[in-house]
Amino acid sequence: MATFSPIMRQLGCLKSAAKPQSLLSAQIARRSLTTVYTPKPEPVPLPTNLPESFLSQLTPRLHPANGPKKIKIYPPPPSTRAACKDPVAAVTESQLKVLDPNGERKALFDYRRSPRSVKVGDILRVTFKNGDPFSGVCLSIRLRGIDTAFLLRNELTRVGVEMWVKVFSPTVKSVEIVQRTEKRKRRARLYYMRQPRHDMRSVENIVSNYLRQKSVLAGQRRQGGQNRRQKR
Amino acid sequence: MAPRLSDRLIWPSISPWAHQLVNCNSAFIRAFGIRSLTPPNTSRFNVGTDLPVLKSTPTAALERKADTLPLRTGAIAIKKGMTAFYDAGTGKRIACTVLQLDRVEVISQKTRERHGYFAVQVGSGWKHPSNLTKSLLGHFSVNGVSPKRHIFEFRVQDENGLLSVGQAINADWFQEGQYVDARSNTKGKGFAGVMKRHGFGGQDRSHGVSLTHRSLGSAGPSQGGGSRVYPGKKMAGNMGNEQNTVQSLKVLKVDPQNGIVVVNGAVSGPKGCVVRIQDAIKKPWPKVVSASESAV
């Protein structure tokens, strides 16, 4: 391998200096096209107010009539989405108007808003369209619009029985409050009452007492010419 | 060696240029282009007008579909959620799905002559023009409708089912008591294993099974010969977010003011998904009288 000494480099510089000028210029002329810079030609502007007779000489792209087309955008029709933001609520409302026209049932179970409503721990008696009554202690109230329901617990033939009742169901004829809870319960769902320690067992005695008193009162009222309306 | 012409062409009975001379208005003019000098052969195949329709033609396809294609177009709706109805007679609770039609309009028609089948292109909602491609904007503009968010096609049986472009489809397009098919994408479940996706049994909890309690068994051999995995083998993969059709849902309630259609039962997909509803193909078609009334 030959060592490149500074003396040799100087000699090389001399060699290029000794080259004739004509050879150098020839090299520049032989540069490839890509390295030569050519500025982009400026587009020649069309003459303004060009007579129509000359338009045929232009390419179709440059005709004044063939400019970029404006796309017409049509306005949308009135929106039903804006008219009814919450269709599920609207459908539920229309159903409730039919099932509960006075809003009595809704008020009876809306424990968040109405103070006189049913509370958990109350003993309720429900009568159905087919005539079967069911009574029990209310363990839970589920507020879900049209699916509002409550859970009753009782004991039949010494076996614990629970029943979910839909408040707005047409099969429910009436709901009566037999006995209110003495103390406000500090739970929303009294599932602890399923445990043997807290189980209330049968509420039949309380209900039958209530029915007896009610019939007595109804008898007095009827004698007094009044009609006690059943609470719905 | 120069190519040789056949004897018939070397001494033709008529001029060889006679094919290129077309008799037009009793004056011979010369036709251009490359043309065969020999007349076309008669086909060796069975050709004629009274032959049965071939099975792989659009005509045969339309004939096959004639009984299962609805007479009328459907509509694009948005699933809004579920609620319940109580049956007036029995007092039974009926779960239902609330759908809303929002600015549903006919965008264009597909015809047998141009596209090979009859269909109505329907759009719904509204989309800001700056969010649309120029080609779509041009499509809406040409047909004279506002830019739509959702576009779908509804196939119909024949040209009687085609609606005029720009016609609005309201909720009263459907009647209470009729049946519809609801077509929508199911909820996406992501990458799911075989037990969830295909209902496989999985493997034992114990008895020496290690790390493969929820995986499939053998995928390869002894499935009918050949030691390979057949195409279509059920494996883990993406589940859900695929189109599903729920057939024959009863329309319980229609509210044209708010564009609400309430159908019985559940419809695939999450709240806010696009649902395409059309007359049920497995029930008798609804009375066409009201359809023409609403069309007027």
The mean pLDDT value for A111-123 works out to 93
**Chain B residues near residue A128 by CB distance under 8 angstroms:** none
pLDDT in tens, B71-120: 999 999 999 999 999 988 888 999 999 999 999 999 999 999 999 999 99
**Chain B residues near residue A72 by CB distance under 8 angstroms:** 141
pLDDT in tens, A36-60: 788 899 988 888 888 888 888 888 8
Q: Using pLDDT thresholds of 50, 70 and 90, give the confidence band for residue B230.
A: confident
* Predicted local distance difference test score (pLDDT) of residue A35: 72
The residue type found at A134 is F
Is CATH 3.80.10.10 correct for B71-187+238-279?
no
**Chain A residues near residue B257 by CB distance under 8 angstroms:** 80, 83-84
Task: Measure in Å the smallest separation between the Cα of A69 and chain B Cα atoms.
Answer: 10
Task: Measure in Å the smallest separation between the Cα of A166 and chain B Cα atoms.
Answer: 9
Of A8-17, A142-151, B11-20, the range with the lowest mean pLDDT is B11-20
Of A10-24, A82-96, B36-50, B79-93, the range with the lowest mean pLDDT is A10-24
* Predicted local distance difference test score (pLDDT) of residue A171: 94
The mean pLDDT value for A215-222 works out to 86
pLDDT in tens, A54-77: 888 888 888 878 877 889 999 999
pLDDT exceeds 70 at position A31: no
The mean pLDDT value for B244-252 works out to 97
Using beta carbons and an 8 Å cutoff, which residues of A are at the interface with B?
71-81, 83-84, 86-88, 90-92, 94-95, 99, 129, 145-147, 166, 168-171
pLDDT in tens, B151-166: 999 999 999 999 999 9
* Predicted local distance difference test score (pLDDT) of residue B34: 82
**Chain B residues near residue A86 by CB distance under 8 angstroms:** 80
Among residues A150, A193, A200, A154, the alpha carbon closest in space to that of A175 is found at A150
* Closest residue to B84, CB basis, from A79, A90, A146: A146
Q: CB pairs below 8 Å between A and B: how many?
A: 97
Task: Measure in Å the smallest separation between the Cα of B147 and chain A Cα atoms.
Answer: 7
Q: Using pLDDT thresholds of 50, 70 and 90, give the confidence band for residue B222.
A: low
More confidently predicted of B296 and A50: A50
Q: B104 Cβ partners below 8 Å, 6+ apart? A: B75, B76, B77, B122, B123, B124, B168, B169, B170
Judge residue A185's burial from the number of C-beta atoms within 10 Å of its C-beta, 0-12 exposed, 13-18 middle, 19 or more buried: middle
Is residue B231 within 8 Å of B70, Cβ to Cβ? Answer: no
CB contact under 8 A, B260 and A87: yes
Residue B90: how many CB atoms within 10 A of its CB?
A: 10
CB contact under 8 A, A73 and B137: yes
Residue A141 three-state SS: strand
Which domains are delineated in chain A?
A: 90-217 (2.30.30.790)
* Predicted local distance difference test score (pLDDT) of residue B46: 79
Is residue A201 within 8 Å of A154, Cβ to Cβ? Answer: no
Domain boundaries, chain B: 71-187+238-279
CB contact under 8 A, B259 and A166: no
Q: Using pLDDT thresholds of 50, 70 and 90, give the confidence band for residue B234.
A: very high
Q: For an interface test with A, give the residue of B76, B134, B258 to mutate (most A CBs within 10 A).
A: B258
CB contact under 8 A, A74 and B102: no
Among residues B173, B152, B155, the alpha carbon closest in space to that of B275 is found at B152
**Chain A residues near residue B84 by CB distance under 8 angstroms:** 95, 146-147
**Chain B residues near residue A92 by CB distance under 8 angstroms:** 83
Q: For an interface test with B, give the residue of A71, A72, A80 to mutate (most B CBs within 10 A).
A: A80
What gap in Å lies between CA B239 and CA B190, rounded to an integer? 6
pLDDT exceeds 70 at position A1: no
What gap in Å lies between CA A118 and CA A108, rounded to an integer? 6
